[in-house]
Amino acid sequence: MTEHNEISLLLAPEAAETQCLETVKQSRNSSHALAALIALQSFISATVRPADRYTPAYEAVKGVIEKHAIATRAKILAENADNLAKAILQRNRPEIAQIHTALSRNGFWQAAQQAISQFAPDDLATSATWAKNWCSEARTQAQAASGYPDALDFSKAGIAASEYAAMTELSHYLTDTLG
């Protein structure tokens, strides 16, 4: 019997499926959908009665939400990979830096691998050369701007440090892919 200040919730895998689909549909974008799904996971985990924890029904509900979270993560990765591929081909360093900043290091690596896999051999080679040359030139400019041989001053050189970080990682990924 519940007290007056409590409610009980019943959640079956079918209801979880419906809720997940509705959550994804109502979300502004894939990132918001993922955040909502994670919040739903956390809410259920935090509020489930101890007697229901680890039961087949609980595991089934968790599985439904996790399935949608995995699919949403894959969609986010694909979106970032497509945007990164376009940015690389357009030589759009600010966009590359923005994608780099928005993702974890592993997320950026995964997006870069997906993006690079879309490139024809010529595009890959040209992009690798462009990234490597840009990083080399940026480093030279930052070194000259600092006044010290072992120090870099990107700010004085007029280069965004976030662009340099993103381009350096990207250059490594492109070069590694070329072999």
Q: Is 30 in contact with 78 (CB distance < 8 Å)?
A: no
The answer to whether 146 and 89 are in contact (CB under 8 A) is: no
Q: For the chain, which ranges sit under pLDDT 70?
A: 1-3
Note the pLDDT tens digit of each residue in 5-42: 888 888 999 999 999 999 999 999 999 999 999 999 99
Last residue of a domain, one of 73, 90, 107: 90
What's the chain's length in residues? Answer: 179
Same domain, 84 and 103: no
Is 2 a member of any domain?
no
CA 26 to chain centre: 21
Of 109, 91, 113, give the one whose Cα is nearest residue 100. 109
Of the three residues 90, 111, 127, the one that is the final residue of a domain is 90
Note whether residue 97 is domain-resident. yes
Instruction: Establish if 17 belongs to a structural domain.
Output: yes
Select from 93, 88, 73, 86 the least CA-distant residue to 33: 73
State the pLDDT at residue 53: 92
- CA-CA distance, 126 to 20, in Å (whole number)? 43
- pLDDT value at residue 166: 98
Q: What's the domain count of the chain?
A: 2
- Which pLDDT value is given to residue 104? 93
CA dihedral for 75, 46, 54, 61, sign (positive or negative): negative
Residues of the domain holding 111: 92-178
Question: Sign of dihedral through CA atoms 55, 56, 61, 62?
Answer: positive
| 142 and 166 together in one domain | yes
Does residue 4 fall inside a structural domain?
no
- Quick one: 163 and 96 in the same domain? yes
DSSP alpha helix (H) spans, the chain = 13-26, 30-47, 56-89, 93-102, 105-117, 121-146, 154-157, 161-178
Residue 80: predicted pLDDT: 97
5 within a domain of the structure (yes/no): no
Residues 150 and 161 placed together within one structural domain of the fold: yes
Q: Which residues of 41-53 are buried (b: 16+ CB within 10 A; e: fewer)?
A: beebeeebeeeee
pLDDT for 8 equals 82
3 domain residue, yes or no: no
Would you state the pLDDT for residue 124?
A: 97
In a domain, 161, yes or no: yes
- Answer yes or no: do 167 and 120 share one domain: yes
**Same structural domain, 174 and 98:** yes
